[in-house]
Chains A and B, each alone.
Chain A
Amino acid sequence: MRMMAFLLLLSVFQAAARNSYSQNVKVTINMDDVTVGEVLNTIEAQSDYYFIFNQKLVDVDRKVSVHAQNKKVSKILDELFAGTDIRHMVMDRQIILSPKELLAENVRKTQQKYVVSGTVSDEKGEPLPGVNIMEKGTTNGTISGTDGSYTLQVSSQDAVLVFSFVGYKTQEVPVAGKKVVNVSLQPEAIGLDEVVTIGYGTKKKIHSAGSISTVTSTEIVKTPVSNMKDAIVGRTSGIIAVTPSGSPGTGAQIQIRGMSTLQNNSVLVLVDGVQRPFSQLDPNEIESITILKDGASAAIYGVKGGNGVILVTTKRGKLGKPRFSFNSYTGIQQVTRYPDLLNSYQYAVTNNQAYENMGLDPNDPANAGKFFTADQLAKFKSGEINTQFKDLVFKNNPVKMHYNLNVNGGSDKIRYFFSGGYLAQDGLIPNSSFNRYNLRSNVDATINKYFTVSINLDGRLEDKDSPSWGEGNIFSHMVRAIPTERAYDKNGKPLDILSPQPLEEAKNGGVNNWKTSVLNAQMNAVLDLGFVKPLEGLKAKFMYSYDQNVVVNKKYKKPYKVYVPDQNGMATEEVKWKGGARQLTQSNLNSHRYTLDLSLDYDRTFGKHHISGLFVYEQRENFNTYLVASRQGFISDIIQELFAGDPETATNNGWASEGGYLSYIGRLSYVYANKYIFDVSAREDASVLFPPDTRWGFFPSFAVAWRLSEEHFIKDNLSFVNNLKLRASYGMLGTDAGAGNFAYLEQYKLTYGALIDNRITTGLVKYVEPNKDITWEKVASFDLGLEGLFWNGLLGFDMAYFKKNTSDILAPKIISTPQTFGANLPPVNYAEVELKGFEMSLTHTNTIGEVRYSLAGNFTYSKNKVLQIDDPEDQLPHLVRKGKPLDFYVGYKTDGLFQSDQEAQDYYPQFGNNLVGGGDIKYIDRNGDKVIDNKDLDVISLYSYMPRVMFGMDMKLSWRNFDFSALFQGAAGRKIMLSGPARVMFQIGGNNFYTYLLDCWSPDNKDAKYPRAWRGNNINNDKDSDFWLRDGSYLRLKNLEIGYNFKSLVPNVDNLRLYFAAYNVFTIDKIKYFDPEVASGSGRYDVNANAQHNYTTWGTYYPQLKSYNIGVNITF
């Protein structure tokens, strides 16, 4: 059925097409017993003439026979119409057929076309290129050239020209018989005519009652990053983000206004109205990114919009001649910050000190293996043996580059935007890289006055490499490996040592490659129902999109070679292979998804009344399949394909899943005199994750706004006020993110069975205990805002207070259900979280002489609180979660370091440990029982690694051909817990660690910052406590750009700009050793924002990167 409708649409497009053919004036026709019409068609087909005639006056059904060899068209026509009163007249490429008495009249009418030309300039008289010039009431138009000039053929000397350009007031100028029409456009009071993208449409910003911010294409392309999420951080209020990893291609974790549920805080992203990710789009493809922050704006997305919505709009073709644009940058990357690791001498000295602290006698021969000898120390001190694994592993200045070429243009019938991009990012360690190829084609066709069709095609390939050992392992091994071992001989051959060899693992241990190919195809068709008079303003819209994602993951792991060293530390012939067998694991994830929207859109103004409405029917389905296979036993590394492995070792597995959504969406909006704005919207959503009777959810929203600036008491008295709007909204949203997999059904799954008679049998277990009442999580969201623009842009502001209440949060009641129940618990709707906050943005734009500049600052504060959660009675105070934020730190409170063994012995026993001495952490006895144990645990900070406050400050300045911009971004109200090697020396039997810990307590260093040296996890000191808690606030210069435009030096080029851009330039913070955006001190590689802190023990994070780039923009 769906296919059928598609074909119907296609046939309609074909009926409307008619175009020119060859340039031949002579034609050959041999036709018998055909109609005149067929002959005319044949002539049109063979020439590029076309006929204009009135069917009532010219009998085209008359049967004739024509035989003409290479004859002129006019001759053939003379013969064809011989004996009738029809004559023809050739005009350019048109041939008019008409009774001879009417011919002259027809020719006169056709000849009346009138040519107008002129120049468009701005308010200062500078030529203004790119201005759209239309003949009013037609689709006839053009665009002004680089010098502002234009030429347009209009229908008569009474025509009216409409000049429009973004940022300028649209002007209508009657031709009134003139041949030359010069126009000077006046700038629009900033932003008032701005159109914003909203759910399922667009709206004038002044008519919007929601809390919406927009990041424009010029800002997006300024940040040289490989992930679009990083490009919006700091540029607008309401975004809470951290970027915990510098792995190529990955980006920030983004939340809109903060966390408000237990399960899934992920933001809904739509690209051109379809739910799909945006982080890997080419920045040059993007026209704007709009963030819907308040509940009422997002409510139109019902079940998915609960955590906020990001709408991405891609660029489209504009009327006019083709404009090519080439953009490229190349840069080098460096680690923002990474703590130093001990050198061999420091390691050995500290080791000896640690063993002495542990009570071992260095002179006892039984302890011989533990202490480094004086000989060894001398070798370390001289640098003879000192392996600095960090220097080995980190590459110097890995390169990143990006190229994009795009073109846009169009006629009144067809407009196009084509773009191709390539990004290559080299990683910090060997075999770590990211390459991306983007291709986009956005075409809009005006089929006729009432019908337009757009096709968007977006294809891309993402190609990511990482070492098969895993990036996290490489960094963790780099920290672990011991500097007192010689890892390479003088010839650079890797040696067999006890420590892991992170460089060999990364370089020679095989590659894990992901190839993600994406094909998104989308068609929009709009039928203006205005052809029926009473339906004027009503449009029927059709949108169908089909997205396919294929992720092919190939992980080839192989052993790396090390040489057994001789006594002098030189490689011998003896070779060892480390890292286990060769193995290839290949998987394939196929995702298919379609979205269908059918909508009716109404928009009309009656005097002072502006009414708009929308109704959408939406259905979505998806289907995913996954297949994984592996083999071992490869005899060589040359062919890394499954067939080359040993079939005996072959394994495979796979799964499939499907989903469906159905929604009805409605919106009504009324604006009176651009002054009072009322919006109502509602959405009815169904999700298959819920049982049929609780499957449907209804999500209404209301918004009102009052533009005080339109009131006379302001207009008349405070003329500097361009815009002042007070707005309030309330919206109800939902989410099914925590619903699990068909948790309402009693279901079983196949799993592992026992090994019986050395044979693996199939097993079976039940999924969760079903919850037959499972339904939506509900989000009630309130927003109160004030926005304004004064003195034509000297001051702009937008501030909002928000409150969000998430109830019926889905989570299993694990804590209050006794384990004697025995089954896996299903998610139940019960928890409740409140989120409150405030956000503000300020803008200032001005021109002083030749200097134009703007300043934009934004600030967001948000705080969440758990209102209802699965807390049993009598819970220990620090574990109670009700009334606290979703994420907080639990640990011990401390009182510095013991300054002597005696002081430690006189104090309360700590954790039943009799080895506590001077230089160990002293804990506070919270409960007063004179014993330090886990009953003294307490909440030590209500902050988490996700900041409570985010701010950004964007500065732009231009002078003559120079331009400059800087983006500062920061966070506050944020804490980080040091863990793993960030607080433990010699972990796991002797791992290396960070040099700052060398400021450790000893009788000679009583002011030390850190506890005394110890081998391994000291049970007294290695505990989460305020001793290890750090303030994670920071301010960083995220982006800096300086450019110069050479356009005046090069002919035929509209724009030629060279620039220098730097990213993550410098940071001011209190952490000092690590990049402050790291999630915890040891660096959690991936972060699961959850109330339960769960660190990895080793330093496993991919450091954040800074980059310095030079780039070029050319438009011609």
Chain B
Amino acid sequence: MKKIKYIVLLLSMMFMSYSCEKVLDKENLSGLAADNVWQDEAYVEAYISTLYHNLRGWEETYSGGYRIMDNIADEGRTCYASFTPNSILLPGLLTAEMEGQIHDMHYWWMYKEIRRCNEYFENMKNSELTGSNITRMNAEVQFLRAFHYFELVKRYGGVPLITKPQRLGDPDLYPKRNSVDECFDFIVKEFDEAAKKFEEAGVISTHNARASQGAALAFKARALLYYASPLFNPDNDIQRWKDAAAAAKAVMDLGVYSLDPDFSKILRRDNDEVIFKKEYKIHSNPDRWHRYDHGRSVAYLPLSQARSDAGYSYPVQEFVDAFRMANGLKITDPASGYDPKHPYVGREPRFYASVTYNGSVWRGETIWTYVGSGPNAISANPWTTNTGYFCRKNMKEDLPDDYFAWSSDDTPFPYMRYADVILMHAEAENEVNGPNADVIHDIQMIWDRAGITGSVPTGLSKDEMRQLIHDERYIELAFEEHRYWDLRRWKEAHTRLSGSKFHGMRITLDTLSVSPLVIDTVYTPVEVDVFVPNFPEYEYLMPIPHSEILANPNLVQNPGW
């Protein structure tokens, strides 16, 4: 009897193992299988959404808020001057091994995004999804892949063209570099194809952060302009300028874009000027940064309003001096009416929309930067302006009152504006035919919108017109990440960005006074750079990250690195 009881007990213990195979039947509860993704339009749409999200606009920074490229050319300087990457890029100390310190180098070598595009095409081959939405998405991915390849070529020259996702262990894991010509051919062809598909899908232009036929054509024009520029066109093959001019013209001929009448509000509202952009939200939670919050930081504002540091980017004197007078004359022209004792009077309207200076008003506060004036005074304190200016362009003035230190506003980042297309057309056309009526008409459009009362001078030589167009790009496209790259493609960086320190304006009052407006004010330019800027010629092509050269014996480093 008793023994039976024990045997029952023993058997009951054994029942436990009954469910054992289920123990190993486990899933990744937050994962989606590949089969589910590529047969479902909503998931494919989400996949593309992330591709857009990964583009970088204002957030091209290493701690959130300021753009490096604004501060290493001749536009502005930053409080992070003594920090990498500025302290390395500005004095020309970059080496290929420094990839850990140049926080962006891993992004510059952006094959991650290219692979995502390649995987899209690979997977969509086997997908049964069709329709105009799919055509549009195909166009978007093709556009984005070309966009990334252009960003690569603009930095490194020829790069490996990879159009299929590689598999681990494949021999093609170690690609060689394609030539510059092959790369530009590919990019142009891709933008063309994307433009056709967009047209098929009926997406001619957009007002949101999506690409369109117009965007594809405009980026094609930009690629062709770079290809025609001295950096990539040392023999000055005129056909390339012709192609660039024609490509820009094609965008203009679409007839869907126009200049916004108010220069200071281009990015602040929906208009037909912004061709491709990235959107942002206002950062509203000091405890948690959101992915969509990394727009323009309030640390660009004057110290009295920044609520913490105020030195993310402050314009240099050279930039301020580049603005014309409202009559269209340069300040160096004796007829311009420029008065060095009142340097901020009578300048063209874009100046007032781009720079906050001594005595200008921002958010209802008069900003004083003269020595001894208070928090906004020019200072060697790295956490405010060292030049006496603050950046105003594209900043949001009507911020909600409860913004906090390191907040950011919701200004979109403009990858492509119609003004750029017009200037591209003018630049290329001038190279092909000299300063003809088309060129003058282009520039006049820009001046008219800017509020310059004068007319674009006629009778200039081709070289003079080229200089005028370069200056125009400096002003019109400032702080939108063009200047540094323009100087490079014109091969002007090693002269413009080497040898002497850049300046700020130290403003002092002659006597103690109640208001600086009535008292004699003394303007003294002062050097602001910590290091002497230097742009070695080998820097015209960026170094391929050293680790990449080590990992791939087939890659040849750019000369000089």
Tell me if A758 is interfacial: C-beta within 8 Å of chain B. yes
Tell me if B26 is interfacial: C-beta within 8 Å of chain A. yes
- Asked if B20 and A619 sit within 8 Å, CB to CB, the answer is yes
Contact partners of A360 in chain B: CB under 8 A? 380
- Asked if A764 and B43 sit within 8 Å, CB to CB, the answer is yes
- Asked if A656 and B30 sit within 8 Å, CB to CB, the answer is yes
- A1049 → chain B closest CB, angstroms: 52
- Asked if A753 and B53 sit within 8 Å, CB to CB, the answer is yes
Contact A660/B33 with A753-B49, A822-B116 known, Cβ cut-off 8 Å: no
**Roughly how many angstroms separate A579 CA and B287 CA in the complex, as a whole number?**
9
Tell me if A755 is interfacial: C-beta within 8 Å of chain B. yes
**Roughly how many angstroms separate A828 CA and B381 CA in the complex, as a whole number?**
50
Tell me if A139 is interfacial: C-beta within 8 Å of chain B. no
- Asked if A822 and B112 sit within 8 Å, CB to CB, the answer is yes
- Asked if B10 and A818 sit within 8 Å, CB to CB, the answer is no
Tell me if A823 is interfacial: C-beta within 8 Å of chain B. yes
Tell me if A366 is interfacial: C-beta within 8 Å of chain B. yes
Binary flags per residue of A1-33, CB closer than 8 Å to B gives 1, else 0: 110110011001001000000000000000000
- A923 → chain B closest CB, angstroms: 15
Contact partners of B499 in chain A: CB under 8 A? none
Tell me if B334 is interfacial: C-beta within 8 Å of chain A. no
Contact partners of A661 in chain B: CB under 8 A? 23
Contact A451/B6 with A746-B34, A873-B550 known, Cβ cut-off 8 Å: yes
Interface stretch among B87-95, B235-243, B357-365, B462-470? B87-95
Interface stretch among B167-175, B220-228, B313-321, B416-424? B167-175
**Roughly how many angstroms separate A284 CA and B115 CA in the complex, as a whole number?**
58
- B520 → chain A closest CB, angstroms: 17
- Asked if A933 and B95 sit within 8 Å, CB to CB, the answer is yes
Contact A621/B23 with A765-B50, A822-B166, A934-B98 known, Cβ cut-off 8 Å: yes
Contact partners of B553 in chain A: CB under 8 A? 873
Considering the complex, which residues of chain A in the window 318-369 have a beta carbon less than 8 Å from any beta carbon of chain B?
A: 360, 365-369
Tell me if A1052 is interfacial: C-beta within 8 Å of chain B. no
**Roughly how many angstroms separate A15 CA and B18 CA in the complex, as a whole number?**
26
- Asked if A1 and B15 sit within 8 Å, CB to CB, the answer is yes
Tell me if A202 is interfacial: C-beta within 8 Å of chain B. no
Contact A660/B209 with A745-B31, A747-B34, A762-B49 known, Cβ cut-off 8 Å: no
Binary flags per residue of B78-99, CB closer than 8 Å to A gives 1, else 0: 0100110001000101010110
- A997 → chain B closest CB, angstroms: 19
- Asked if B6 and A527 sit within 8 Å, CB to CB, the answer is yes
B interface residues, tally (CB under 8 Å) = 103
Contact A450/B46 with A748-B34, A934-B95 known, Cβ cut-off 8 Å: no
Contact partners of B160 in chain A: CB under 8 A? 820
Contact A579/B286 with A822-B114, A912-B91 known, Cβ cut-off 8 Å: yes
- A62 → chain B closest CB, angstroms: 23
Pick the residue among A527, A761, A815 that contacts B547 (CB under 8 A). Answer: A815
- Asked if B47 and A542 sit within 8 Å, CB to CB, the answer is no
Tell me if B162 is interfacial: C-beta within 8 Å of chain A. yes
Interface stretch among B195-203, B277-285, B391-399, B443-451? B277-285
Contact partners of B433 in chain A: CB under 8 A? none
- Asked if A656 and B53 sit within 8 Å, CB to CB, the answer is no
Pick the residue among A557, A763, A876, A1016 that contacts B47 (CB under 8 A). Answer: A763
- Asked if B111 and A658 sit within 8 Å, CB to CB, the answer is no
Tell me if A91 is interfacial: C-beta within 8 Å of chain B. no
Pick the residue among B28, B49, B119 that contacts A756 (CB under 8 A). Answer: B49
- Asked if B13 and A366 sit within 8 Å, CB to CB, the answer is no
**Roughly how many angstroms separate A756 CA and B48 CA in the complex, as a whole number?**
12
**Roughly how many angstroms separate A531 CA and B2 CA in the complex, as a whole number?**
9
Tell me if B5 is interfacial: C-beta within 8 Å of chain A. yes
- Asked if A820 and B111 sit within 8 Å, CB to CB, the answer is yes
Tell me if B180 is interfacial: C-beta within 8 Å of chain A. no
Instruction: Name the residue on B nearest A748 (C-beta).
Output: B32
Instruction: Name the residue on A nearest B371 (C-beta).
Output: A366
Contact A771/B168 with A686-B24, A750-B32 known, Cβ cut-off 8 Å: yes
- A413 → chain B closest CB, angstroms: 18
Binary flags per residue of A820-843, CB closer than 8 Å to B gives 1, else 0: 111101001000000000000000
Contact partners of B115 in chain A: CB under 8 A? 821-823
**Roughly how many angstroms separate A539 CA and B102 CA in the complex, as a whole number?**
66
Instruction: Name the residue on A nearest B22 (C-beta).
Output: A660
- B134 → chain A closest CB, angstroms: 16
Instruction: Name the residue on A nearest B98 (C-beta).
Output: A934
- Asked if A4 and B82 sit within 8 Å, CB to CB, the answer is no
Tell me if A817 is interfacial: C-beta within 8 Å of chain B. yes
Pick the residue among A580, A816, A828 that contacts B286 (CB under 8 A). Answer: A580
Tell me if A657 is interfacial: C-beta within 8 Å of chain B. yes
- A1013 → chain B closest CB, angstroms: 16
Tell me if A109 is interfacial: C-beta within 8 Å of chain B. no
Contact A742/B12 with A366-B371, A762-B49, A934-B95 known, Cβ cut-off 8 Å: no
**Roughly how many angstroms separate A901 CA and B410 CA in the complex, as a whole number?**
50
- Asked if A769 and B29 sit within 8 Å, CB to CB, the answer is no
Pick the residue among A658, A745, A1019 that contacts B29 (CB under 8 A). Answer: A658
Contact partners of A771 in chain B: CB under 8 A? 168
Interface size class of A (residues with CB under 8 A): 35 or more
Tell me if B404 is interfacial: C-beta within 8 Å of chain A. yes
**Roughly how many angstroms separate A749 CA and B46 CA in the complex, as a whole number?**
10
Contact A1016/B551 with A764-B37, A912-B93 known, Cβ cut-off 8 Å: no
- Asked if B50 and A764 sit within 8 Å, CB to CB, the answer is yes
Contact A756/B209 with A656-B29, A817-B173 known, Cβ cut-off 8 Å: yes
Tell me if B165 is interfacial: C-beta within 8 Å of chain A. yes
Pick the residue among A532, A598, A821 that contacts B111 (CB under 8 A). Answer: A821
- Asked if B6 and A557 sit within 8 Å, CB to CB, the answer is no
- Asked if B23 and A818 sit within 8 Å, CB to CB, the answer is no
- B550 → chain A closest CB, angstroms: 4
Contact A451/B9 with A367-B380, A370-B380, A765-B50 known, Cβ cut-off 8 Å: yes
**Roughly how many angstroms separate A656 CA and B279 CA in the complex, as a whole number?**
32
- Asked if A819 and B50 sit within 8 Å, CB to CB, the answer is no
- Asked if A746 and B33 sit within 8 Å, CB to CB, the answer is yes
Considering the complex, which residues of chain B in the window 491-525 have a beta carbon less than 8 Å from any beta carbon of chain A?
A: 506, 508
**Roughly how many angstroms separate A657 CA and B31 CA in the complex, as a whole number?**
10
Contact partners of B111 in chain A: CB under 8 A? 819-822
Binary flags per residue of A755-779, CB closer than 8 Å to B gives 1, else 0: 1111011111111010100000000
Tell me if B121 is interfacial: C-beta within 8 Å of chain A. no
Binary flags per residue of A235-258, CB closer than 8 Å to B gives 1, else 0: 000000000000000000000000
- Asked if A619 and B173 sit within 8 Å, CB to CB, the answer is no
- Asked if A763 and B49 sit within 8 Å, CB to CB, the answer is yes
Contact A752/B380 with A5-B15, A450-B6, A1016-B82 known, Cβ cut-off 8 Å: no
Q: List 20 A-B contacts (CB under 8 A).
A: A1-B18, A9-B9, A365-B508, A540-B13, A581-B286, A655-B30, A692-B24, A746-B33, A753-B46, A753-B53, A754-B279, A755-B209, A755-B278, A755-B279, A762-B46, A765-B47, A815-B547, A817-B173, A819-B548, A822-B165
Residues of A within 8 A of B (CB): 1-2, 4-5, 8-9, 12, 15, 360, 365-370, 450-451, 525, 527, 529, 531-532, 540, 542, 544, 557, 579-581, 583, 585, 596, 598, 617, 619-621, 630, 632, 655-662, 686, 688, 692, 695, 741-742, 745-758, 760-767, 769, 771, 815-823, 825, 828, 872-876, 911-912, 914, 933-935, 989, 1016-1017, 1019
The 5 residue pairs across chains A and B that have the minimum distance between CB atoms? A822-B115, A580-B286, A753-B49, A763-B50, A754-B52
Residues of B within 8 A of A (CB): 2-3, 5-6, 8-10, 12-20, 23-34, 36-37, 43, 45-47, 49-50, 52-53, 79, 82-83, 87, 91, 93, 95, 97-98, 106, 109, 111-116, 118-119, 160, 162, 165-168, 173-175, 208-210, 278-281, 285-288, 291-292, 309, 371-372, 377, 379-383, 402, 404, 410, 506, 508, 526, 532, 545, 547-548, 550-553, 555
Contacts A529-B10, A819-B112 aside, 19 further interface pairs with beta carbons under 8 A come to A12-B9, A367-B380, A451-B6, A540-B13, A581-B286, A581-B287, A620-B23, A658-B27, A688-B26, A749-B32, A754-B50, A755-B279, A758-B279, A758-B410, A763-B49, A820-B111, A823-B165, A914-B532, A1017-B82
